[in-house]
Structure 1
Amino acid sequence: MSDRDDALRHELGWTGPEDSDYEPPTTAARSAAPAPAAVPARPPVDFVAPTPDESRPPAQHHRSDAGDDTGPIAAVRPEPVPSHPRPEHPPARSDWPPQHAAPPSRPAPPGPGHPHPGHPWPPPAGYAPAAPSSYADRIPVRDLVPTRPAPPTRGWRRVLHTLTFGLVNLGPSPDEIREAELEAGIRGVLRGHYKIGVMGKGGVGKTTVSASVGSVFAELRPDDRVVAVDADTAFGKLGSRVDPRAVGSYWELASDQHLDTFADIRNRVGNNAAGLFVLAGEASPARRRILDPAIYREATSRLDRYFSISIVDCSSTMDTPVTQEVLRDLDALIVVSSPWVDGAAAAGQTMDWLASRGHTNLLQRTVVVLNDSDGHSDKRTRSILAQQFAGQGQAVVEVPFDSQIRPGGVIPGTRGMSPQTRRKFVEIAAALAAHFPRTDDRNRERF
């Protein structure tokens, strides 16, 4: 650019860049443009804001930007300017916001999604939205599919059901329903082993009760193995009531070192038609061997590997060492008595003997059986004895006379019994099953 052009620029008042296409604004435009606001001077570093006068009332301001509300709002006092710049966001603190902070003077106006000013929708503690039900859950199966009662199995209801070719079905009788409930209790959950002892004086039907109750468990619990053990040292007859062909005994079972499977132990025990196995005692007087606690413990420990329920026919003499060993390992007990005064007195002495030796827990799991083995008992006497034993907290079951099991011989199961006799043995087994262990605690206290 020449000196003449520079002089012309100063004469015309050009102050823009020295580009060739730049044109300065006209005088009218320069006069219409507003003057820029003066930028306040930045306070020095050591500047301290003056303290406001507390005696002066705060100024009241009015707002007109919130609809018709033009009322006064509290003025906010100016805060002192800190010496360092305030961060854009406050640091995260466990006590944020401060508990002493004053609430805002006016709640925020309701926005979309809030039903009331200042009341949002926080979910309550522990609230979980209900999951929508499935289509299958909404189908009323019970209303759509009619339920049919089970056909009766005995009595006049069964006769009526048969004569009408099933058109008239009144369902089971209350007695059948009660029996089904008892059988369901016998089939209940059992964890670990369960050992039941049977005690009583000679001639009251102790061995018959042992074989009959064991047959009930074997029939109603086919998935479990049930064994009857003859622990009567006075030539017990349990083997002849279950399986006379059983040749094994305590000594053969305890001395056999090759009992690795159930097939091995199966050759040492007998069984009846109901599936009840039996470990017979010493039946032959020709070779009299005395059963001692060590042999009993070794033999029964091997049975525990393969059998869930054991019915132990104890000796009528309670002071024998074998009986003492049996009592240490029992979960429940059956005390058999005749329905006469002398038999009931012997049963009472047995229970007193157990209580005096600390077997109080075992007595709470004891069932008293009034066995009418000859059919000549008095009904009034049976009723009085039942009330006396029940008053001590024991369950009492009266077994009627049954000519089919009285003469002796093998008890093949409960099929050959009369319905009344079978029902009573089912009640005995159900009372014992009520104390089944529900947890697998093999070291539980037994007496």
Structure 2
Amino acid sequence: MPENAYAPGGFRAQSRFSDPSAEPPPEWTAPTPPNGIPVSPAAFGPPPFEEPGYGPPVAEPAPYEPPVYGPAAYGAPQYGDPAYEDPPPYLDLSTVALLGERRRAPSEGWRRWLYFASAKTINLGEGPKTVRRRTLAAQVQRPLRGCYRIAVLSLKGGVGKTTITATLGATLASVRGDRVIAVDANPDRGTLSQKVPLETPATVRHLLRDAEGIAAYSDVRAYTSQGPSRLEVLASESDPAVSEAFSSDDYVRTLEVLERFYSLVLTDCGTGLMHSAMAAVLSKADALVVVSSGSVDGARSASATLDWLDAHGHQDMVRNSVAVINAVRPRSGKVDMKKVVDHFNRRCRAVLQVPFDPHLEEGAEISLERLKPQTREALLELAAVVAAGFVGARRPG
């Protein structure tokens, strides 16, 4: 063994182990931190949850929300949302929207001839006149709730008041699908029943006598006469002495029966405005048609009728009335019809002119098929103007 083995600075003096009784290093006796040895969170990723004493604090997880399926997943409104009450419009699945509107084949004129001459390969559609007639017919067919009452009157006789009542009622009945009736309220011997084929001798007096027993339309039909246009007429008494007794109460009772079975009731009033039934006629009317002829005295009488209505508290009825200038003669003479039309245009809602027609001059039963095309078109336009007031009907029936 070398002599200097245990010498200071020798091998034994350079041993790796120190004396246990010696003072330990300071880092050995330092207190352990409460959170353990600090470690970088990036080394192990974010902790799955927060637990006191483990890693840095993390945010609380969001509350659990169930998945959304169905239309709500695409943003569709749900029940309770304001948009749910008014959903967006969907594509119209009507026949016209899916297949397109097919052009109607011409029904008259040279267009129809060309359509068949070309073996139905050239279809120009209907002409302007046909389109206009169909437009007016669509206006006449406007829906109506309840019973609508139309009063036709004039102060002067011989202007065609009864003829206008019958032709207007026949036009409405032929175009529309509901029931239309005309009542003869003339205190004198009325001629309205002569405008349709007579089917029964019963009059309005018989209807009032049996009013309590009328429960169905077939019961009323026993007291009326019907023409080819489906217009029904309730005749007045043929005896003038009995007709005078037709009072306002009788007219109101008549309407109470008719309005249960008819959608339109036309009243052919007398030439006087002071007879007993006129007060009830005016109070129950929804529309007023004032008839005038193309003569000077006829226009003055019609204007005097409007003056009387204005003076007796019927201003609204005058403003909503329809004036009809009926040509009872082939020529109007020297009367300036433009000035007559302009006068009534300033006072009434509309003014219509009905041309002279030989069939109406006969004074017999009226057939719409025998009228001239111009006359039928004028009556159709009159019916469309009257139907324009259906929206403002004041009684639901």
* TM-score, normalising length: structure 2: 0.74
**Does 2:386 align with 1:435?**
no
Mapped pair 1:252 → 2:206:
yes
Which residue matches 2:223?
Answer: 268
Shift of 1:161: 2.6
Q: 1:401 aligns with which of 338, 356, 360?
A: 356
Structure with a larger share of its residues in helix: 2
Where do 5+ consecutive residues of structure 2 fail to align? 1-23, 43-58, 60-80
Q: Which runs of 5+ in 1 are unaligned?
A: 1-27, 40-63, 67-107, 109-124
Q: Which position in structure 2 is the counterpart of 1:377?
A: 332
* Relative contact order higher in (CA < 8 Å, ≥ 6 apart): 2
Instruction: Assess if the C-alpha contact under 8 Å between 2:148 and 2:263 holds in 1.
Output: yes
Please report the TM-score for the alignment, with normalisation by the length of structure 1. Answer: 0.66
Tell me, in whole angstroms, the C-alpha distance in 1 between the residues paired with 2:337 and 2:87.
61
Q: Which residue of 2 aligns with 1:179?
A: 133
How far is 1:377 from its partner?
1.2
The 1:144–1:184 alpha-carbon spacing in structure 2 relative to 1, beyond 3 Å, is closer
The corresponding residue for 1:243 is 197
Task: Give 1:158 shift.
Answer: 2.6
Return the alpha-carbon distance in structure 2 between the equivalents of residues 377 and 146 of structure 1: 49
Taking a change above 3 Å as real, the CA distance of residues 335 and 179 of structure 1, as seen in their structure-2 partners, is same
Query: What CA RMSD, in Å, does the superposition of the two structures yield over aligned residues?
Result: 3.5
Distance 1:423 1:143, change over 3 A: closer
Matched, 1:321 2:276: yes
Q: Which residue of 2 aligns with 1:170?
A: 124
Aligned pairs for 1:204-243 within 5 A: 204-222=159-177, 224-243=178-197
Q: Which residue of 2 aligns with 1:155?
A: 109
- Identity percentage of aligned residues: 33
Check 1:165–1:435 CA distance in 2 against 1; reply closer, same or farther (3 A cut): same
Change (3 A) 1:303 1:166: same
Q: Which moved more, 1:291-300 or 1:343-352?
A: 291-300
The answer (yes or no) to whether the contact 1:337–1:370 under 8 Å persists in 2 is yes
Aligned partners of 2:152 and 2:288 also within 8 Å: yes
Q: Would you say 1:189 and 2:189 are equivalent positions?
A: no
Query: How far apart are 1:132 and its partner, in Å?
Result: 10
Q: Map Cα deviations across residues 203-251 of structure 1 (whole Å, 9 max, x no partner).
A: 01101100000011111112x1110000011111001112333322222
Q: 1:273 to 1:312 in 2, by over 3 A?
A: same
Preserved CA contact (<8 Å) 1:225 1:308: yes
Query: What corresponds to 2:309 in structure 1?
Result: 354
1:387 Cα deviation from its structure 2 partner: 1.6
CA distance 1:186–1:378, shift in 2 (3 Å)? same
Contact 1:340/1:382 (<8 A) preserved? no
Q: CA deviation at 1:374?
A: 1.8
Size of the aligned set, in residue pairs, is 329
The amino acid across from 1:207 in the alignment is T
Measured in 2, the distance between the counterparts of 1:188 and 1:154 equals 26
